[in-house]
Amino acid sequence: RIAAGRLAEFLGASVVDFDRSLRTLGVYHQALRMFANLDQETKAALEAYASGVNAFLATRNRPLPPEFILLGIEPEPWRPVDSIAWGRMMAWSLSANWREELARFELARTLNAQQIREFLPPYPGQTRPDHADLSPLYRAVGKAMDTEKLANLLPDAGISAGSNTWVVAGDRAKTGKPLLANDPHLELTVPAIWYFAHLSAPGLSVIGGTLPGAPGVVLGRTDRIAWGFTNTASDSQDLFI
């Protein structure tokens, strides 16, 4: 419902602007296009996942989770495209560099490219690419722009401080095998976006953390390998005048 901009259906007028933002971004429409272009193997995995969710909903003999009871809503059948839509929302929650884009634009109103580089230095060990100095252009076309209003219009991704992954080599562990630690640093939510799952089938045993809608384990291990995931400070958003 979040990705489709449908929260106001049961939360009322207070979230209409939030729904409008998500519909303007076109998250669910994008998910529909992405699903149409998937290969058959991936489509089959998402369809099988949806069938499993809906089989549970059709045959459940226990109460729904507390959030459904508190909000007084019934879960709708899960669609394969819902998995993609929620994946897009996860991507949004891990993307917040539009604020940096806006800050750089504000600086360009008074500073040239070299001064901006001094004000926003590169990450240690990296160098900034040479760009044409577009500060005069930004000043000319941005005179009438209300950047504070724009900042208030764009939905906040709510990204937290960061995340990390690290490994200890096997020769430093008592077992002789490497150790993997992974901390995604995602904010706590109710209901939680992570849950633990153990998938067991002939030739398959995998356990770890996964996300609602994901037909697999996102962070976890098999009997032979372990893997983690971390994502911080990627340049994944652009603002256009």
CB 167 within 8 A of CB 215: no
Q: Return the closest-CA partner of residue 99 out of 148, 60, 65, 136.
A: 148
Instruction: Indicate if 236 belongs to the active site.
Output: no
Can you say how many angstroms the Cα of residue 141 is from the centroid of all Cα atoms in its chain?
32
Pairing of strands 179-183, 164-168: antiparallel
Beta-carbon count within 10 A of 143 CB: 8
Longest dimension (CA), the chain: 66
Out of 163, 205, 234, 236, the active site residue is: 163
CB 207 within 8 A of CB 221: yes
Give the residue numbers marked as catalytic. 163
